[in-house]
Structure 1
Amino acid sequence: MSALSAALSGVGSLRSLLPGAHVATGSAAATAPTATRTLTPPAQLSDGELLDGCLAGSRLMQKYLYERFAGRMMAVCLRYAQTTFEAEDVLQEGFITVFKNLASFRRECPLEFWIRRIMVNAALRQHRRNAPLVAVSDGGEYPQDLAGEEFTLSNYNFEELLGLVQDLAPRYQMVFNLFAIEGYGHKEIGEMLGISEGTSKSQYSRARAILKNKIERLDAQRPHGFR
């Protein structure tokens, strides 16, 4: 059983998401009638049907919803974390919030978008908790303004790009993700992180400069056939 599953086991109805979880015990379980019914395969259920099932208290639908989005949300969490362990913590906190607040989802946007916002907010909370403890070191000086500067990422797979982003100092990593990936404006980012709009712009420029520098170094080390 994973650390994430173990943590989820203590959250009310999320207990059923665990492998081997038991709902009934003792004689009640032994005498419970076995109903024969045809279940719709999870892949054929719409997000709305999963949501309706969760709101009706179906533990199976809760399991299906978690399984549908956990992989995609883990990819989001990894971009904001320094380690896989931190990403799992963010994912756990995020899904706890998701299941506690499903009734407040108004269906005005895709369910995945709503869950993604919750994961980003969980990452922000993690960042605020850790920020005072993190010593920032860039390893060099970089230009503050990279307007018009471009660099090619198509030669790198997801794991390589993720590693580059995770190597950024937390303040740069957070701003880069929020602006370049999530699409927030610098004014919004400033409000979210408690910094000025100008600071957000500056940190994003430095993050891009650091990434550009690292990518140029990697390109120089690669055989010509792999560039």
Structure 2
Amino acid sequence: MLRLIPFFTTEAQLIVALKRGESRAHKVVYERFAGKMLAVCTRYCANRDDAEEVMLDGFMRAFEKIEQFREEGSFEGWIRRIMVTESLMFLRKAKQWRLEIPMDEVTVEPDYEWADTAVNESDLMRLVNQLPDGYRTVFNLYAIEGYSHAEIAEMLGISEGTSKSQLSRARMLLQTNLKKMEQDFRNVSYEKTYRKAAN
């Protein structure tokens, strides 16, 4: 006899089932959010295997702490914050976010106009994922998650000055790599046009 998995018509019903510890609710949450949460973890853990492990730990933590969800914000946002925290814990254990030399001051300001360049999201995220771990972590927390430098400093155990300098360096490196990517694209396009004209 087939057992039907109940369909949770509202998020509130799903959360009630989670608080009861229903494994079927766990499955629904995983299937609904795994793709998005893996993307979050991958932004911090460049290695996909590490990101998947962190994501699974994050879901386990969410299921364990579900009583702490007060339904004052979005459920997805609550899970996302757990995923970010788990990612930072992983990086802290691996000591990967301390790879860059802390700097209290940056004397060169990045050119913020690079953000207006026509580049698709997947290319931009690929460039972000290529950043050194410390730069990538601060960039993600500030530019994508929306944390302040004071919050980032507290989360990572660094100074606000270090957070600001890591962000500035990340932006400058992104700008440099974006320009290089655009130049490579122009070179390839020119070569294709030249070959087509030659034939």
Give unpaired runs (5+ residues) of structure 2.
190-199
- Within the alignment, does 1:54 sit opposite 2:8 as a pair? no
Structure 1 residue identity aligned to 2:137: M
- What does residue 93 of structure 2 align with? 129
Give unpaired runs (5+ residues) of structure 1.
1-33
Map of 1:136-155 to 2, 5 A cutoff? 136=100, 144-146=108-110, 148-152=112-116, 154-155=118-119
Q: Is the 8 A contact 1:143 1:209 kept in 2?
A: no
- What does residue 71 of structure 2 align with? 107
Q: Which has the higher contact order (CA 8 A, sep 6+)?
A: 2
Structure 1 residue identity aligned to 2:58: G
User: Residue 115 of structure 2: SS of its match in structure 1?
Assistant: coil
Alpha-carbon distance, 1:39 to partner: 4.0
Structure 2 residue identity aligned to 1:125: M
Alpha-carbon distance, 1:81 to partner: 1.1
Which of 118, 129, 132 pairs up with 2:82?
Answer: 118
Alpha-carbon distance, 1:186 to partner: 0.6
Alpha-carbon distance, 1:58 to partner: 2.2
- Within the alignment, does 1:194 sit opposite 2:157 as a pair? yes
- What does residue 184 of structure 2 align with? 221
- What does residue 192 of structure 2 align with? none
Structure 2 residue identity aligned to 1:182: E
Structure 1 residue identity aligned to 2:124: L
- Within the alignment, does 1:211 sit opposite 2:159 as a pair? no
- Within the alignment, does 1:97 sit opposite 2:66 as a pair? no
User: Which protein has the bigger helix share?
Assistant: 2
Identity over aligned pairs, percent = 38
Alpha-carbon distance, 1:223 to partner: 3.6
Alpha-carbon distance, 1:109 to partner: 0.7
Alpha-carbon distance, 1:224 to partner: 8.0
Alpha-carbon distance, 1:134 to partner: 7.2
Deviations 1:62-101 (A, max 9, x none): 1111111111111111111121111112101111100101
- What does residue 85 of structure 1 align with? 49
Instruction: Calculate the TM-score normalised by the size of structure 2.
Output: 0.82
Deviations 1:95-120 (A, max 9, x none): 11001011121111110010000000
Alpha-carbon distance, 1:136 to partner: 4.8
Deviations 1:157-177 (A, max 9, x none): 42x323211211111000000
